[in-house]
Chains A and B, each alone.
Chain A
Amino acid sequence: MRSVQFITLLFLACATVASAQVTPDRLLNSSKEPQNWLTYNGDYTGRRFSSLDQLNTNNAAQLSPKWAYQTMAGGKFETTPLVVEGILYGTGPDDRAFALDARTGRPVWQYQRNLPDDIRPCCGRVNRGLAILGDRLFMGTLDAHVLALDAKTANVLWDVPAVDYRKGYSFTLAPLVIKNLVLVGVSGGEYGIRGFIDAYDSTTGERKWRFYTIPAPGEPGSSSWEGDSWKIGGSPAWITGTYDPETNTTFWTTGNPSPSNRGIGREGDNLYSNSLLALDPDTGKLKWHFQFTRHDEHDYDATQVPVMVNQGDRRLILQANRNGFFYVIDRTNGKLLRADSYAKVSWSKEKDADGLPIPSKDASPTPEGNRVCPGAAGATNWMSPTYDPQTKLFYVTAREQCDVFSTAPQPYDAGHAYYGSAYFPNEDAEPFYGALRAIDPDTGKTKWEWKHPSPTWSGILSTAGGLVFTGDAEGNFIALDAATGKALWHFQCGASVYSAPMTYSVKGKQYVAVAAGSTLFAFGLP
């Protein structure tokens, strides 16, 4: 009898341990366990929607802070944490990582990579988060390594250099795990890199494939580059992709061609910069591509999460692009279905026969400067949008700002900034602002907007409680009614929000978490 009890206990213990293992199957079905947040975007679709509804339009006004975790780090705190069985895993500036009790905020372990002093991040020593498989966490680093950390101890299990960081390469994104592979895309569009997307064996760290986002001479698309410009043509892939198991396709987006503000010397469309790529995750083979901005001269990275949405039989990708257009694309073949501006646009005045907005010649940067909209930060940027299947609306963080773009010849020097010049606030000091816009994908029209006094870098979360969460540059974390845009609650975090909120549940209690300043906050009902 006793031994039976013991065996039963042992079995239960094993079962508990087994359930802590994040299997590929659990990643595929993550929507069935909304108490956890298993990937950067919450699930493979990139919708950043949670079916948790304990927090809802009726009680949002009662939200209050439950705990705060301080990294004590300077710089932008861009993480979206993961939550697995009550443990929260996040990253911080300078390649920090931490595991916390998701209920109390108490640290379980803290990790910080010993970075060399000559790393070359373009835009802050940032990291956006981790991926998990089994009991391993995966992290891309600012010195262009990929790491596997033990989820229980932060012990480094493998550490693989992907490329020489001294030439301007780095990783800032949260990796994406598909099956047994860890996918990462590289940053460095400001340095004249040659961009790529890599896949590593999660067990050994062995690189399984690399897809260069710029074709070499002789490969399809190589004629879209002038001379040797392809070697330093940029086209980074610094935002986490999405994955469609139905067709076994992973979708990744790419950034600007280098130098970003000078098209002279790289005549052509500059494939696959500013594109959506449909890749076979097993091999890295390109199935098709769709280029949002051809021969870009305004730094209009397409590095916005390509959100997968199904409408009846239609299999779509929705993307509100940095260039100011909202695109609806058939994700089975890469065909453009519609493109509508959702912010002020002056770089494109016409569309081609397929409906694709094409650049105007008179929008090119000039030596003395040319005022173009959107400005250099874009109509949006990397901040995560969300799609709410209940309201059927797509929510994006928008910026209404034009800039003066100037250009000058610049010699390429490996590892040095390579912009081909710069941009400025426009001369009239015209006021600019931000807004959270709720776009109807059927019409491309904005149904409502929440105006921010100044533009924010916060992402957005939607939940089945009828709520949309976002942060602002003035430090507020805000809950809006997803249907109307009415503010239901806000909390002053004391610093600008540069991250996307996420939600999870522990012991039946729903939390919503967001990073602001150097602090990660979790909120819940009293």
Chain B
Amino acid sequence: MIVSSKIYLRTLGVLLTWVFTVVQPLGAQAKNPYTGDAKTAKLGEYEFRANCAFCHGLGARGGGRGPDLTRTPKKHGDSDQEIFTTISNGVPGTAMPPNGATQQGVGMTEEEIWQVITYIRSVEHKPVEMTGDSLRGRQLFFGSAACSTCHMFKGQGGRLGPDLTTAGTARSLDYLTDSIRNPSRRLAQGLGEAMKEFTEEYETVNVVTADGTKLQGTLLNEDSFTIQFLDTREQLHSLDKASLKSWEKSRVSLMPAYDEKTLPEKDLQDILTFLVNRLRAEGGAR
């Protein structure tokens, strides 16, 4: 079907090509023609490694940059067709590029995209059954656990740390747990990506200005001559390095490590349940 439509396209004239493209965009069929085929899934794994794993990790379990794709439902749509669109067109405003536009891979044919989808389906697991108390988790998030001092959820909360609205479906529970218990072990990807080859991370910056003022905050961006950061009072700064008395950046996160004393296991489970279930109850983050 896909192959023949391709040949069809090539043999028709410009006008027909246009009509055909407009009426039935390539790859717009709603269903994966290879659903459940183990051999196709294996081919899809090769494609995944060459084109997707750089950000989404081996086994699709998520990397530093890309979400865990073994989770369901997917943030940008969970039907075969929606995933096909996500891979083909990318997700504007995120690091997910359109197929063929990355510097790492060489782009996939429609058939190869279906192979990748078949592979992703083969490693997906059912939505995790969360056992905690979602409402209590929300109270902790915005209350005594003080997560919202630095993290936003649906537009409420602080700015120093990553927005956690979609973290519950984008990241594995292991990753989320580790990020709470050992926040410095793996810093989250940062806010600013201005022209950098790779994203900034939530590094801590300590600055002493020429007049002796001490500032601490989260690094937003940096080049050889300047730094941009948000201080702990959420004030933006863009300063010339040469004008400072001193400055240093550190990979020790500003976030305190929430050990079991600070955040008992029950509280942790409630917060995780809140992060995962709030979304599902409200039908995704879109």
Give A contacts to B, CB under 8 Å: 120-124, 190-191, 368-369, 406, 408, 410, 416-417, 419, 421-425, 428-429, 431, 450-455, 457, 472-476, 478, 487, 490, 492, 494-496
Contact = CB atoms under 8 A, between A and B. Distances in A.
B28 interface: no
Contact of A474 (B51, B53, B64, B196): B196
Interface stretch (B126-134, B220-228, B253-261): B220-228
A472 B222 CA distance: 12
Contacts of B104: 422
Contacts of B224: 450-453, 472, 474, 476, 478, 487, 490
Nearest to A456: B197
Interface stretch (B42-50, B72-80, B135-143, B151-159): B42-50
B197 A421 contact: no
Q: Which 10 A-B pairs have the closest CB atoms?
A: A474-B223, A417-B106, A422-B49, A429-B64, A473-B197, A475-B195, A421-B49, A422-B50, A496-B195, A419-B50
Contacts of A369: 58
Contacts of A190: 106
B187 A429 contact: yes
Contacts of B251: 431
B215 to A, nearest CB: 19
Contacts of B181: none
25 contacts: A120-B106, A123-B103, A190-B106, A417-B107, A421-B46, A422-B54, A425-B63, A425-B64, A429-B187, A451-B224, A452-B224, A453-B222, A453-B224, A457-B197, A472-B224, A473-B195, A473-B196, A473-B197, A474-B222, A487-B225, A490-B224, A494-B195, A495-B195, A496-B195, A496-B197
A408 B49 contact: yes
Contact of B58 (A424, A428, A453, A455): A424
B280 interface: no
Contacts of A121: 106
B151 to A, nearest CB: 20
B105 interface: yes
A17 B45 CA distance: 61
Given A473-B196, A490-B224, 19 more contacts: A122-B106, A191-B106, A406-B58, A410-B46, A417-B105, A422-B49, A422-B50, A424-B63, A429-B186, A429-B187, A431-B201, A453-B224, A457-B197, A474-B195, A474-B196, A476-B225, A487-B224, A487-B225, A495-B195
B162 interface: no
B230 to A, nearest CB: 18
B4 to A, nearest CB: 17
Interface string B180-201: 0000001100000011111001
A283 B222 CA distance: 52
B57 interface: yes
Nearest to A376: B104
B225 A490 contact: yes
Given A406-B58, A475-B223, A478-B224, A424 B197 contact: no
A124 B50 contact: no
B232 to A, nearest CB: 23
A424 B56 CA distance: 9
Contacts of B54: 422-425
A227 B282 CA distance: 59
Interface in B55-92: 57-58, 63-65
Nearest to B47: A417
A465 B110 CA distance: 54
Nearest to B227: A453
Interface size grouping (class) on chain B:
20 to 34
B57 A424 contact: yes
B196 A454 contact: yes
Contacts of A431: 201, 251
Interface-central residue, B63, B107, B186, B196, by most chain A CB under 10 Å: B196
A457 B106 CA distance: 19
A121 B46 CA distance: 20
A476 B224 CA distance: 8
Given A425-B64, A495-B195, A472 B223 contact: yes
A423 B106 CA distance: 14
Contacts of B49: 406, 408, 421-422
A390 to B, nearest CB: 25
B55 to A, nearest CB: 9
B223 A453 contact: yes
Interface-central residue, B107, B194, B225, by most chain A CB under 10 Å: B225
B188 to A, nearest CB: 10
Contacts of B109: 416
B255 to A, nearest CB: 16
Interface-central residue, B54, B109, B187, by most chain A CB under 10 Å: B54
A525 B191 CA distance: 37
A423 B55 CA distance: 10
Interface in B81-124: 103-107, 109
A457 B225 CA distance: 18
Contacts of B225: 476, 487, 490
Contacts of A473: 195-197
A492 B54 CA distance: 30
A455 B50 CA distance: 22
A124 B54 CA distance: 17
Contacts of B50: 417, 419, 421-422
Nearest to B52: A422
Nearest to B103: A123
A416 B107 CA distance: 9
Nearest to A401: B198
Nearest to B42: A408
Contacts of B103: 123-124
A120 B105 CA distance: 11
Contacts of A494: 195
Given A369-B58, A417-B106, A474-B224, A422 B197 contact: no
Interface-central residue, A190, A406, A428, A454, by most chain B CB under 10 Å: A454
Nearest to A429: B64
Contacts of B107: 417
Contacts of A475: 195, 223
Nearest to B104: A422
Given A123-B103, A429-B64, A454 B198 contact: yes
Interface string B219-249: 0001111000000000000000000000000
A474 B58 CA distance: 29
Contacts of A457: 197
B163 to A, nearest CB: 20
A368 B53 CA distance: 12
Nearest to A473: B197
Interface in B199-220: 201
Nearest to B203: A431
Nearest to A120: B106
Contacts of A490: 224-225
Contacts of A478: 224
A408 B201 CA distance: 31
Nearest to B108: A417
